[in-house]
Structure 1
Amino acid sequence: MPETTLTTPEQKEEIISYLESQQAGKFRKAYLDLHVYEQAQIFSELDETQRNRIYRYLSPVEMGDMFNAIEEEPDQVVNYFKEMIPQYAADVIYEMYTDNAVDILAYAKAKDLNQYLELLPAEAAVEIRGMLHYQDKTAGAIMSTEYVAITGNQTVRSALHVMKKEALDAETIYYIYVIDDEENLQGVLTLRDLLTNDDDALISDIMNRPVMSVDVQEDQEEVAQTIRDYNFIALPVTNPEGKMIGIINVDDIIDVIDEESAQDYSGLAGVDVDNLPSNPWQAALKRLPWSLGLLILGITTAVVISWYQTLIQKDTLMVTFIAMVMGASGNAGTQSLAVSATRIADKDDEEESTAKMVANEALTGLIVGFFSGILFAVITGIWQQDLDFGLILGLALLIAVTISNVLGCLLPIIFKKLGKDASNVPGALVSTISDLLSALIYFGTIQIFWNLYH
C-alpha cells in the first residue's frame, strides 16, 4: 500500500528526473509509493510530453486511483482524457468512482463523450449516461453508485461474504444497505453491527430502520446540512419510488461545502475566487462591471454632498466627521448582511419570518447606533468644545447605523425574492449604498438643526 508522506521538493525533482530520463521502473516505484493525493499534485504540474509518458508507464487502475484524487477543475481534467489513446481513456474512466468520472465527463464534448461510452462495458456506460442527466447541484449529481447492498433474508455470515467480495469496488463499507427484491431501501447496518452479531442472525432482525435517505433531486446544500446535523459518513439516495440508486459520501459533502463557501465568498467580494486569471487584462475585465457600477454609486454620493455646499461653507468643520459616520454605517451594514445571509441559508432558521428578522436587525442597529452615538457625541463634543454639535453628530450616527443595519438585512431578502442566492450580495454594494444614505442622513440632520437654531 502506498505510504502517506509529505513529498519534498527534492523527491519531486527526483521523480520528474526519472520521467525525463524515461526510467520507467524507477519512476513507477518512486511515484506509486506516494499517496494518490501527492501523485495528483505532481501530475498537475507536468507538461503534455511528461504526461504522455505517464500514460505509458501506469496502468488504467493506477491512473484511475490518481484521477479520483485530482483537485483541478473538471473542465480542465477532461482535457487529459483527450491526450490519451481513446481505449486507455475509457479504461481509466472505468476504474474511477462513477461520481468522480461523471463530474469530469459532464464537460466533455459530445463526440468525445460518445466515443468513451462506446468503449466502456455496456453496464458502466448505461450507468454514466443515467447520472449525466441529473440536474447540477442535486443529490443525483454528486452521488456514487458503488455501495454494498444485501437483502433482509440473508444471514450475517452471508452478508460478510458479500461485503468482502464487493469491498474493493465500494466507496465505503462502513454502511451496508438492506434492500428488497425490487431494490427498495429497507434498512441499514454498520460494519460494527455485522461484527458484533451472531453469524447465523438474520439481517432483517438486526438491521436499523427507518433509514434516513435523500431524494435524487434534493439540493446538495440540503444534503450537506443533513450529513452535518446527523454526523453520517454516507447517506443513501433514492428515486421518487423509494428505490435505492446510490449513496453520497462525506468526502463528496466536503467538496460541496468548499464549493458553496467559495461561491459565498465570491458573492461577498463581488469577484469569482474560483476562477482567477493570471492575465491582468482578463482579471480587470472580470472586476470592471462591479467596480464601474459602484463608482457610479460613489459619484451619486458626491452629488448628494454637493447639494449641501452652502451648508458646508457656513461651517467647514462638519466635513471632518463625515468619514467616521460613513465608516461606522458601512461596517454595520456589512455585518448585518453576513448575519442575514447566513440565517436565510440556514435551514434551522426556516421558520423565522422575514418581518421578525428585519425587526431584529433594526433593533440591533438601534442598540449599536445608540451606544456608538453616545461615544461619538462625547468625543466630538469635548474635542470641539461644543456639546450641542456633538449630540447632533451622535444622532446622525445613530440613524445612519440603524438604517444601514436594515439595508444589510433587506438586500439578501430581495436577492432571494428575485431568485438569486442570498449569499451573493457583495459587501461593497452594501457599503457604497450605506455611504450614500449616510451622507444624506448626516448633512440632512445637521441642516435640520441648523435651520432650528439659526
Structure 2
Amino acid sequence: MFQKGGGDKWTLIQLIAVYVYYPIKYGKRPRHGPFSDNREAENMVKLNNYTREEYKKYIIQQIDSEDTLTTHATIMDLHPTDRAEIYKELSDKQRMFIHTALAPKEMADIFEQLDAKDQEFFMEEVDERYAANMFDDMYADDAADFLAEMDDTKATEILSIMQEEEAEEIRELMSYEEETAGAIMTKEFILLREKEAVSEVMERLRKEAPDAETIYYLYVADEEDKLAGVVSLRDLITADPSDLVEKAMSTRVVSVEADEDQENVARLIKKYDFLAVPVVTQQNTLVGIITVDDILDVVDEETEEDFGEISGTRGSMDANLSSFSAAKKRAPWIVMLMFLGLITANVIGQFEETLEAVVLLAVFIPLIMDSAGNTGTQALAVTVRGLAVGTLDRKGITSMVRREFGTGIFLGIFCAVTLLLLIPIVYENFMIAVIVSVSLFLTLSVSTVTGATIPLIIHKLKIDPAVASGPFITTLNDVIGLLIYFSIATSLLQYLPQ
C-alpha cells in the first residue's frame, strides 16, 4: 500500500557525501545541510528573499559549476512547483546534471508538476531504471496516469523493473476505465481495524503517515475487509488512548463504487465538503480513496472538455499543439457548420423576391442572426452548467426552461423598444422598424428556449450535452431568426415602400 523508497540508495550516497566527504575536504561538517558554516546558511536565507529570476540564476551557477551538494540543497529548499518551473527552463546538459544531483524520489516531486509534454522529454533523457525508481516513490494514481499514456511496450518494461507491490497497484489502477472513480483513486491510504486501540493507531500514524495521501480522514474495515466506518484525526487525538477504534469511529460512511463516473464523485465531494471519499467494490470492500486535490484536477479537466465542446475546439486547446494539428482537430466542426451555413444561405434565397422588393431588409440580417446566436449560446451555457453540476432535476428543468423563456421575452422587449425608437430616426421608415422589432422580439424568445432545451434532449439521449456546442446552437438559431424575419417581412410587404 505504501512506497518502499526505491530511491533510498541515491539519498544514502548524498548523506555520505555531506557527512563524510565534506568534512574530509573542508575539515568540518556542515551545520545546515550542505553549508559549511553559519555565514553560508545566512546567505541561503538571503537567497530566499531574492526574486525568482535571481534565485534561478544562482541555481544555474551551481549547476554549471557542477557543485552537486549546493545544487541539491538549493533546489530542495524550493517548493516543488518552483523546482519544476526552473527545471523546465534548463538546457539539456543542465537537466542531465539535475538527474545526477537529485535522487529519483526527489525528482518525483518535480515530475508530478510538469505538463505532459515536459514529462515525455524527461522520460527520453533518463534510463528506465531511474524512471522506475522514481515511479516507485510516486503516488500510484499519478504514476498510473502517466504510464497509461505511454507506449504499452515501454510502460510494461518500466513496470517490470519497479518493485512488485508498487507495480501491482499501478496495474490495478490502469485496469479501470478512464474517467471513473477507480481510475483517479489513490492506493496510499491508512486502513484501520475496528478492534485496534487508539494508542496503537497513533503509533502507526507516526510511522506510516508520511507515505499516506491524507490522514485527516481514516477509514475502518471489519474482519471481512468491508468498509465499516470512518474516523477523523481530531477524533483520534481527543479519544481515550485505551479506547478501540470502533468506539471513536462513525459508521455512517459516504462512499463511491470504483466504476462511478468521476463527475459524480466531484459533485459528491462538493456536496459534503469532503477532503476525501472512500472507493469500494460492489461487495463494499475498500480499494482506495479519492482526495480533493484529485477532484480539482477532474473539475479542471471536465471544464476544459465542456468548454471545448461548447466552442467547437475540443482537443485543440493545448497551447503546445502546432497550427496544423489544431486546424485538423477543429476542421470537422468547421466543415459541418459550413454545410449548416448553406441552409442559412438557402433560407435567404427562398426570400429573394422580398429582398429584391425592399433591399433595406438586407441591412438587418446580421442583427437578427447575431442576436439569435448570442442569446441561444447564453441559454446553452446556463443549461450545460446546470447539468454538469447536477442541480437540474425534473422540477428544476421545467423552472429553468420557463425562466429562460421569460428572459428571452424581456430581452426581446428591451431590444424591440430600442429599435422602434432608433430605426425611424436613422432610416426614416417606421414600418421597417416594426418588422425588425417584432422579428427580434420573437427570435430572442424562441432562441433562449432552443438554447436551453436542445442540451436537455441530447442529455436524455445519454450524450454529453456539451456537444450541443455554441456554433451549432448559433447556426440553428440563425435559421430560425431568418425564417421569422422574412416571414413577417413578406406578409407585410404591401405596406413597405417599393
The residue aligned with 1:36 is 80
Q: Quick one: which of 186, 189, 192 aligns to 1:150? A: 192
Tell me the residue number matched to 2:64: 20
Contact 1:392/1:446 (8 A) holds in 2: yes
* One-letter amino acid of the structure 1 residue matched with residue 295 of structure 2: I
Tell me what 1:406 maps to: 449
Report the counterpart of residue 243 of structure 1 in structure 2.
285
Q: Is the 8 A contact 1:333 1:434 kept in 2?
A: yes
Q: For 1:122-271, what aligned pairs fall within 5 Å after superposition?
A: 122-271=164-313
Q: How does 1:75-154 map to 2 (within 5 A)?
A: 77-78=119-120, 80-154=122-196
**Equivalent residue for 1:294?**
337
**Any conservation in 1 of the 2:361–2:432 contact (CA below 8 Å)?**
no
1:341-380 aligned at under 5 Å gives the runs 341-352=384-395, 358-380=401-423
Which one is further off, 306-315 or 119-128? 306-315
Per the alignment, residue 29 of structure 2 pairs with none
Letter in 1 for 2:93: T
2:104 maps to a residue whose letter is: P
Cα-to-partner distance string for 1:353-398 (whole Å, 9 max, x where unaligned): 7666545534442343234323323333455454443222221112
Counterpart in 2 of 1:328?
371
Change (3 A) 1:166 1:83: same
Decide whether the 8 Å contact of 2:316 with 2:329 is kept in 1.
no
Give the conservation status (yes or no) of the 8 Å contact 1:7–1:38: no
Asked whether the equivalents of residues 15 and 27 of structure 1 are also in contact (C-alpha less than 8 Å), the reply is: yes
> Shift of the alpha carbon at 1:337?
0.7
Whole-Å separation in 1 of the counterparts to 2:283 and 2:183: 18
Q: Contact (CA 8 Å) 2:198, 2:242: kept in 1 or not?
A: yes
Would you say the 8 A contact 1:5–1:35 is kept in 2? no
- 1:52 has 2:100 as partner: no
Percent of paired sites with the same residue:
34
Distance in 2 separating the partners of 1:337 and 1:210: 38
Contact 2:431 2:496 in 1 (8 A): no
Query: Would the aligned equivalents of 1:64 and 1:92 in 2 still touch at CA under 8 Å?
Result: yes
Q: Give the number of aligned pairs.
A: 452
* Pairwise CA distance, 1:217: 0.8
| Alignment partner of 1:448 is 2:475 | no
Q: Is the 8 A contact 1:188 1:207 kept in 2?
A: yes
CA distance in 1, matches of 2:250, 2:177: 31
Judge conservation of contact 1:167–1:173 (CA < 8 Å) in 2.
yes
Distance in 1 (alpha carbons) for counterparts of 2:119 and 2:350: 57
Provide, for residues 248-277 of structure 1, a one-character-per-residue CA deviation record: whole Å limited to 9, x for no partner.
Answer: 111101111111111111112211354234
Cα distance between partner residues in 1 of 2:282 and 2:49? 44
Q: Deviations over 1:330-355 (max 9, x none)?
A: 22111111111122223231334766
What amino acid maps onto 1:400 in structure 2?
T
* Residue pair 2:380, 2:452 contacting (<8 A) in 1 also: yes
Normalised TM-score (structure 1): 0.91
Equivalents in 2 of 1:156, 1:6: separation in Å?
Answer: 46
21-30 or 92-101, larger mean C-alpha shift = 21-30
Pick the aligned partner of 1:305 from 306, 329, 348: 348
- Secondary structure, counterpart of 1:248 in structure 2: strand
> Could you tell me the TM-score, scaled by structure 2's length?
0.83
* Counterpart pick for 1:340 among 347, 371, 383: 383
CA RMSD, Structure 1 to Structure 2 (Å):
2.6
Q: Distance in 1 between matches of 2:378 and 2:49?
A: 42
Cα drift, residue 193 of structure 1: 0.9
8 Å CA contact 1:176–1:190 kept in 2: the answer is yes
- What is the distance in 2 between the residues matched to 1:262 and 1:211? 31
Question: What is the alpha-carbon distance in structure 1 between the residues aligned to residue 433 and residue 412 of structure 2?
Answer: 14
Deviation at 1:443, TM superposition (A): 1.4
Q: CA deviation at 1:146?
A: 0.8
Unaligned runs of 5+ in 2: 1-32, 34-43
The 1:274/1:165 distance shift into structure 2, 3 A limit, reads: farther
Once the two structures are TM-superposed, the CA of residue 92 in structure 1 deviates from its matched residue by 0.5
SS in 1 for 2:149: coil
Is the contact made by 1:234 and 1:250 (CA closer than 8 Å) also made in structure 2? yes
Distance 1:142 1:7, change over 3 A: farther
SS in 1 for 2:172: helix
CA separation of 1:21 and 1:179: change in aligned 2, threshold 3 A:
same
CA distance in 2, matches of 1:6, 1:399: 62
- The separation in 2 between residues aligned to 1:6 and 1:121, in whole angstroms, is 41
CA contact (8 A) 1:137 1:220 kept: yes
Question: Which secondary structure state, in structure 2, belongs to the residue aligned with residue 221 of structure 1?
Answer: helix
Determine if contact 1:78/1:107 at 8 Å carries over to the other structure: no
Between 1:370-379 and 1:84-93, the stretch displaced more is 370-379
